[in-house]
Structure 1
Amino acid sequence: TDEIMQQEIRPLVAVDIIEQLHRQFAILSGGRGKDGAPIITFPEFAGFSDIPDEDFLNVVTYLTSIPSLEAASIGFIIIIDRRRDKWSAVKASLTRIAGAFPGNLQLVFVLRPSRFIQRTIADIGIKLYRDDFKMKVPIIMLNSVSDLHGYIDKSQLTRELGGTLEYGHSQWIHHRTAIENFAMTVKTTAQMLQTFGTDLAETELPNDVHCTEDLLSAHTDHHSKLKDELKLAVKQGATLLTCIREPVTRSANSKLSPDELENVATVERLLAQLDETEKAFDQFWTKHHLKLEQCLQLRHFEHDFREVKLTLDNLMEAQAHFADIGDSVTRVEHLLKEQKQLEEKGQEPLEKAQSLALHGDQLIQNNHYAVDSIRPKCVELRRICDDFTNETKKKYDILGKSLELHKQLDKASQWCEAGIYLLASQAVDKCQSQEGAETALVEIEKFLVTAKEHQLSNPKEFYNQFDTILTPEIKANAQRILQKLEDVQEMFDKRQVSLKKLAAKQTRPVQPVAPHPESSPKRASPKTTRPA
């Protein structure tokens, strides 16, 4: 406001001229003329002419700077009380005021010396020297305070001038110094907040967790101290306001003078200024504190991301080296076990990565300032997790097929061995009979049925089923076993053909033939018997 600005640029404050003010050769009692003009009184003061010019000018300049610009613009009313003095004192006072009064004058009242001779001299003197005073305002010579009451209401005059206005000079000085101290406190506090705000605005955000935590702690501590300063300043203003209003609080009949009301308004405006400053600072701090907290969140996120990413990269590298698909059932089962161990090892890093990505999503939803940095990292984490999961599934599929392939090859090999053993165990002599040949055929047919159960009867279908995992080594082994299958099958085919022929061979029927004469029965010849 204009008044606050006026106070802020004022060259003098009460504490600077405290001794001169205490001498009380000029006072601003707080009274006003009928049009609101501020009244400055020059009470009776024996050594008025001995006051140094600098002291006089400082005090008068200070007093004229106190009323509001609006009141001061009306013009000041000066009351010079020289009832107990001589005309020479009146002349000296008028001359000094005319030459050094810094404000806008409206009227000058002079309470002339009360002694008859001095009053007569004053009447003549004022007529003779009026032009010498170089005052462009009326100088009204008064015989008594009763005359003064015709111009100014008694309620606006102190008891010394026959009025009812309460005025205590020591208290007035105390209030002035307190108000000016409070104004300085408000100014200093505002400057401290502004300086701190500038420092905050110019602060570069750290790049690591530790430095960010330190900065957040330091700024928060500084902010707390400034808030304490603000609370003290507000308390100081509130106490001052209570002191100024004390007469009204003490007595319902009391009224504050216009100057006291202006003091109240000044303190209230300073408190309002303090409140506005605090609100603006709080808004700025809220934004800055949020930014620091978000910076700390980001640094934690980046730190966790680097750790999780390193673990995931190592996991993916281990998985990439896991290219063996096995060359036997035992080897494949061992590889499946290793794959399972790798999957279990990756479980915790994957969960951490997914959790971190979710945390990143929350930061984005909370309008984090570093969205453009956080979002790609979340995408990358999920991509690596998906890659690992998909690759693991692919490995399991391949190893599963490899296991099935080697089991089938083992079964095929075992089937061949069993077939060769069966063929070898069929004794040739037993197969010569029809019954023996049929029995051998049944054994072979039963055995051949097991080949269909093992799906080994169609090599083309076998290759199609396992084409994706057929390495040159496995393919060579498979071809060898399939060739063996073919050879054993061919052996069975030949054996079946032989056995079918044996089973189909019929025994020749016995033909009846007439006996030859020499083959007819003969009678016993006596030659055949010999004597014993």
Structure 2
Amino acid sequence: MKALDIKTHLEEKYAYISGGMDKKGYPLITFPYSAPIERLNADEIKKIITYLASIASSVNVDPKFSFIIDMRGRTWEVGKSIFKALQESFPYKIEHIYIVKPENFWEKHKISIGMSKYTQLEHTIESVESLTRDIDRNQLTNDLNGTFQYNHQNWLEFRLKLEAFVLYSKETLQRYESNYNELNLSDQSSNVRTAQDAIESHMTIFKDKLSRITIDTLINEGKSLLNMLRTSMASTNPEQQQQQDSNGSKANQHTFVFDYFDEARKITIVMDNLRSAKDRCYLLWHQKKVRLEQNLQLRLFEQDCDKLCNWIGESRLIILRRYTDIGNSCLEAMQHLAEHEQFTKTCLGNEAVIRRTQNVGERLVSSGHYGTNAIKTQMNRLNEEWKSLTILLENRTKILTASLQFHQKADEYLIQVPAWKHLCSLTDDIIAIQNIDQLECLLQQHYRLSDNISKIYADICSDGKAIIDSVAPPQTSDDQLDFRSSARHILEIVQEILSNHRLLDFKWNQRRTYLQQRKSLLTFEYDVQEIFDWLERHGDVFLQKNVSIGRSLHRAKALLKTHSNFESVLENTKTNAEKLIAAADELYREQHEQKQMSSSSSPTIMDDILDLELTQAKSKIYELAHNLDKRMQEFDEKVQKRRH
């Protein structure tokens, strides 16, 4: 029940609770003689006393009340309604009822007899003067000859303001509580749009709800009520004011000297609750704002990561569509490599975007973001996707680079095959060579040609193997890539080069064989001619000059010694001649074996030339050997004849 509900009855001052107490410390509720109580029915009286008692009941757990019923100028019939209401309808305990006896004798008698019916009500009938036996004079209002200052109009004004303050405060607290519960509702979003909507909705809560709840007016009202409790709500009585000021000075400057029912504490609690509710809501609103902003940051970061991962996936598909195409020629390989390098440059140009996104994730994590685990997951995912793309780009670059190098060297090899074939053929110029030094120089050139061809061939084989090893499905992809066509193309080129290389090797060996045969034959001829020349320049000359046998023993011994020395020198020449004669068969055998090794299964013009050369060489070797043997025998006979 509120004062506003019974405002009319309270204004008439049918009863009041001043704040005074009896000597036992129980609050006093007074029915003054001046109020026309006969106008009220029992229910209205019940409402008044119940309301007045409720004011003090909030202070005590088990409240008791004492009543002063001023019967002066009243009849028993009028007072009876009050006693009946107290006995039948008062919700609290009644300690004592002080009845101020009326001035009329018969009315006093009626009260004495009538009160015998209300056995539950402990009462005494007293004069105004005798009230001070049980109630101190300073606890009685001036209408009862007391000094307790009480202004009913001020009290009613205070009660109306207080209850309005409490009512509006409760409504405000309920609004704060409702907003607090609404703010506590989870509205985490799973995408950017809903996250933005959640922030806008959250800002709307502040704009349309929180910002429209104001407690300033209520706080000011509470302060006004406290101020009313600090100052007298009645006309100042010097004696009571001095006592109240004395009591107040014993506490502190905030003591509420007219607060008889602990209203100041209640008002302060309400004000504190208002401030706390506001701070609590504003704090939660700010915390949720931060969380919603972090949620938007997370969704934006996830969106950026998704876009980048999708772009990486699309780039991977573009690479994989042509991953097995390594080019069927040097030109195609060069074009593919140029296109891939441009594509790689474009892809790597986005590395800065990847790094910026990673840096954003790192900043979010370092800021203590609530979604740290989700952010790290996205960062790891983006890092792995980017790493797989860069590996794929590098592998593709290696494959195309190897393909280009392979085709370049293969083309270089095949382009030079005709020239190499010519260099390995038996040309007229080398057939006519009769100089050993020239043949030796040609052999050295021929070996250098072999080294050059072999190096290029080895490089091609190495590049071919490298590209075969490279054209394999990338480990970072689950796609099944078919490189059989590319591998088959590489193998076809290798087979073509191998075929040409075998032919070149065969022709090179033929030319080498011919040059070695020519060199061996010329060397043999030169050595035989050396012996012939020695016999002619030294042997025959010696025999022609030394025809005498000596006319004296001394001269004969000298000639014999000279002849013996000549025979020693001749013996060495004979040994060399015998070696050459013995080497003739070996030389022919070697040339025949070389000819067989360098011969093809299908005879060619070069084979015919080699056969002819071999036949001629055989005849010449045997002819030289025969002539040498014959010449040495003839010379040896001359020498032996000279000795004898």
Contact kept, 8 Å, 2:59 with 2:261, in 1: the verdict is no
Deviates more, 1:101-110 or 1:248-257: 248-257
The structural deviation recorded for 1:409 is 1.9
Note if 1:492 corresponds to 2:508.
Answer: yes
Aligned to 2:304: 304
1:106 to 91, 95, 106: 95
Residue 213 of structure 2 aligns to a residue whose secondary structure is helix
Contact kept, 8 Å, 2:162 with 2:225, in 1: the verdict is no
**Map 1:74-113 → 2, pairs under 5 A:** 74-83=63-72, 94=83, 97-98=86-87, 100-113=89-102
Tell me which amino acid in the other structure corresponds to 1:171.
N
The structural deviation recorded for 1:195 is 3.0
Deviation string, structure 1 residues 240-285 (Cα, Å, up to 9, x no partner): 4433333179989545567545111221232344455456656765
Note if 1:147 corresponds to 2:130.
Answer: yes
Deviation string, structure 1 residues 359-414 (Cα, Å, up to 9, x no partner): 55666777766677655544432222121121122222222322332233233234
Closer, same or farther in 2 for the Cα pair 1:374/1:96, shift >3 Å? Answer: closer
Note if 1:401 corresponds to 2:386.
Answer: no
Counterpart CA distance in 2 for 1:290 and 1:459 is: 65
Aligned to 1:27: 16
Counterpart CA distance in 1 for 2:133 and 2:259 is: 22
Deviation string, structure 1 residues 113-151 (Cα, Å, up to 9, x no partner): 4xxxx3433443333222134552122311x3x432332
Aligned to 2:610: none
Aligned to 1:265: 265
The structural deviation recorded for 1:356 is 4.2
Aligned to 2:477: none
Deviates more, 1:369-378 or 1:432-441: 369-378
Aligned to 1:185: 168
Note if 1:451 corresponds to 2:453.
Answer: yes
Counterpart CA distance in 1 for 2:232 and 2:398 is: 94
Tell me which amino acid in the other structure corresponds to 1:25.
Y
Closer, same or farther in 2 for the Cα pair 1:79/1:398, shift >3 Å? Answer: same
**Map 1:320-399 → 2, pairs under 5 A:** 320-323=320-323, 324-353=325-354, 355-356=356-357, 359=360, 376-399=377-400
Residue 264 of structure 1 aligns to a residue whose secondary structure is helix
1:219 to 202, 219, 227: 202
Tell me which amino acid in the other structure corresponds to 1:132.
K
Closer, same or farther in 2 for the Cα pair 1:244/1:180, shift >3 Å? Answer: same
Tell me which amino acid in the other structure corresponds to 1:244.
M
Task: Number of aligned residue pairs: give it.
Answer: 494
Contact kept, 8 Å, 2:161 with 2:225, in 1: the verdict is no
1:163 to 108, 131, 146: 146
Note if 1:126 corresponds to 2:127.
Answer: no
Residue 213 of structure 1 aligns to a residue whose secondary structure is helix
Closer, same or farther in 2 for the Cα pair 1:480/1:84, shift >3 Å? Answer: same
Residue 35 of structure 1 aligns to a residue whose secondary structure is coil
Closer, same or farther in 2 for the Cα pair 1:362/1:127, shift >3 Å? Answer: same
The structural deviation recorded for 1:334 is 2.6
Tell me which amino acid in the other structure corresponds to 2:151.
G
Deviates more, 1:241-250 or 1:345-354: 241-250
Tell me which amino acid in the other structure corresponds to 2:52.
L
Residue 24 of structure 1 aligns to a residue whose secondary structure is coil
Residue 164 of structure 1 aligns to a residue whose secondary structure is coil
Aligned to 2:316: 316
The structural deviation recorded for 1:13 is 0.7
Note if 1:246 corresponds to 2:247.
Answer: no
Contact kept, 8 Å, 2:405 with 2:463, in 1: the verdict is no
Tell me which amino acid in the other structure corresponds to 1:58.
K
Residue 457 of structure 2 aligns to a residue whose secondary structure is coil
Deviates more, 1:442-451 or 1:264-273: 442-451
Residue 68 of structure 2 aligns to a residue whose secondary structure is strand
Closer, same or farther in 2 for the Cα pair 1:136/1:387, shift >3 Å? Answer: same
Q: % of aligned pairs identical?
A: 21
TM-score normalized with structure 1 length: 0.78
Contact kept, 8 Å, 2:226 with 2:267, in 1: the verdict is no
Tell me which amino acid in the other structure corresponds to 1:394.
N
Counterpart CA distance in 2 for 1:449 and 1:193 is: 95
> Which structure has the larger Rg over C-alpha atoms?
2
Counterpart CA distance in 2 for 1:317 and 1:153 is: 102
Counterpart CA distance in 1 for 2:463 and 2:80 is: 135
Deviates more, 1:19-28 or 1:409-418: 409-418
Closer, same or farther in 2 for the Cα pair 1:127/1:460, shift >3 Å? Answer: closer
Tell me which amino acid in the other structure corresponds to 2:331.
T
Aligned to 2:499: 483
Contact kept, 8 Å, 2:16 with 2:30, in 1: the verdict is yes
Counterpart CA distance in 1 for 2:447 and 2:257 is: 131
Aligned to 1:41: 30
Tell me which amino acid in the other structure corresponds to 1:243.
N
Tell me which amino acid in the other structure corresponds to 1:316.
R
Closer, same or farther in 2 for the Cα pair 1:98/1:35, shift >3 Å? Answer: same
Note if 1:229 corresponds to 2:213.
Answer: yes
Counterpart CA distance in 2 for 1:436 and 1:295 is: 89
Closer, same or farther in 2 for the Cα pair 1:290/1:36, shift >3 Å? Answer: farther
Counterpart CA distance in 2 for 1:340 and 1:459 is: 24
Counterpart CA distance in 2 for 1:429 and 1:42 is: 156
Stretches of structure 1 that go unaligned for 5 or more consecutive residues are: 1-11, 513-532
Closer, same or farther in 2 for the Cα pair 1:89/1:459, shift >3 Å? Answer: closer
Note if 1:433 corresponds to 2:422.
Answer: no
Tell me which amino acid in the other structure corresponds to 1:140.
I
Contact kept, 8 Å, 1:36 with 1:71, in 2: the verdict is no
Tell me which amino acid in the other structure corresponds to 2:453.
A
Residue 67 of structure 1 aligns to a residue whose secondary structure is helix
Aligned to 1:529: none
Contact kept, 8 Å, 1:197 with 1:284, in 2: the verdict is yes
Tell me which amino acid in the other structure corresponds to 1:336.
L
Contact kept, 8 Å, 2:57 with 2:63, in 1: the verdict is no
1:138 to 100, 123, 138: 123
Pick 1 or 2: higher relative contact order, CA cutoff 8 A, min separation 6. 1
Contact kept, 8 Å, 1:308 with 1:349, in 2: the verdict is no
Deviation string, structure 1 residues 404-448 (Cα, Å, up to 9, x no partner): 322332332344344245457965278433265455444434434
Closer, same or farther in 2 for the Cα pair 1:388/1:71, shift >3 Å? Answer: closer
Closer, same or farther in 2 for the Cα pair 1:31/1:347, shift >3 Å? Answer: farther
Counterpart CA distance in 1 for 2:195 and 2:460 is: 69
Contact kept, 8 Å, 1:81 with 1:112, in 2: the verdict is yes
Contact kept, 8 Å, 1:87 with 1:122, in 2: the verdict is yes
Closer, same or farther in 2 for the Cα pair 1:46/1:95, shift >3 Å? Answer: same
2:192 to 204, 209, 221: 209
Closer, same or farther in 2 for the Cα pair 1:194/1:71, shift >3 Å? Answer: closer
Contact kept, 8 Å, 1:36 with 1:74, in 2: the verdict is no
Closer, same or farther in 2 for the Cα pair 1:63/1:331, shift >3 Å? Answer: same
Contact kept, 8 Å, 2:42 with 2:81, in 1: the verdict is no
TM-score normalized with structure 2 length: 0.66
Counterpart CA distance in 1 for 2:468 and 2:194 is: 58
Closer, same or farther in 2 for the Cα pair 1:488/1:192, shift >3 Å? Answer: same
Tell me which amino acid in the other structure corresponds to 2:116.
D
Closer, same or farther in 2 for the Cα pair 1:340/1:36, shift >3 Å? Answer: farther
Deviation string, structure 1 residues 298-347 (Cα, Å, up to 9, x no partner): 43234323322221111110111232223334333332222222222223
Aligned to 1:516: none
